[in-house]
A and B are shown apart, each in its own frame.
Chain A
Amino acid sequence: DMKVTQMPRYLIKRMGENVLLECGQDMSHETMYWYRQDPGLGLQLIYISYDVDSNSEGDIPKGYRVSRKKREHFSLILDSAKTNQTSVYFCASSLSIGTASAETLYFGSGTRLTVL
């Protein structure tokens, strides 16, 4: 069963705390993504990973970093979270970027992060 799993589903943190969002996929997809979703803004790309240790900034990378040490795992890290990072975060995966198949993204169910 093709699946992208995100943990946790809900998270509440205080401003200045570190945050780790985890994502796993069981499809052996090379490419993985982190998006954030805000009302009226849709889905904004934070980072893209082409494979293990091959990551690239998206449109809004400031305040975030990522880690990909295994093909099936992609983590999003917020060092010293800020209140404006309150959002819903989605992880996605796809086949190799640069191919038509890469444009079919498989999304997880999201993590709702609240920073107080």
Chain B
Amino acid sequence: GDSVTQTEGQVALSEEDFLTIHCNYSASGYPALFWYVQYPGEGPQFLFRASRDKEKGSSRGFEATYDKGTTSFHLRKASVQESDSAVYYCALGGGFASALTFGSGTKVIPCLP
């Protein structure tokens, strides 16, 4: 079946550092790919999506590019801030009559430089 792999369970970095969270997927066909963000005490919320090869999604300074060749959709941000402290979920669209498949999530912990 379809699956999403996020290799980092947690990322600690200094404020203003460059952030990368890795996301790889396994699916047949051409699924849509998503990033969701979950702030403490809240439910996950939609960040952005991409639905075709080489398409870039972006929101709030975060971006990711759909790469069918490497089956990846890595999340990047140039300068992380304290307010970015959250859990980030990569997800795969299930297509007709199917729900999203989520990765295991990556917790981002910004620290004072």
Residues of A within 8 A of B (CB): 4, 33, 35, 40-45, 48, 50, 58, 90, 92, 97-98, 100, 103-110
Contact = CB atoms under 8 A, between A and B. Distances in A.
Contact of A97 (B43, B89, B96): B96
Nearest to B96: A98
Given A42-B102, A42-B105, A103 B96 contact: no
B103 A100 contact: no
Contacts of B71: none
Contacts, number: 57
Given A40-B104, A41-B104, A42-B102, A97 B97 contact: yes
Contacts of B51: 100
A98 B98 CA distance: 8
Given A40-B104, A97-B96, 18 more contacts: A35-B102, A42-B103, A44-B102, A45-B101, A58-B99, A92-B43, A97-B99, A98-B95, A98-B97, A103-B34, A105-B44, A106-B45, A106-B46, A107-B43, A107-B44, A109-B42, A109-B43, A110-B43
13 contacts: A35-B102, A42-B89, A42-B104, A45-B101, A48-B99, A90-B43, A92-B43, A98-B96, A98-B97, A103-B34, A104-B46, A107-B44, A109-B42
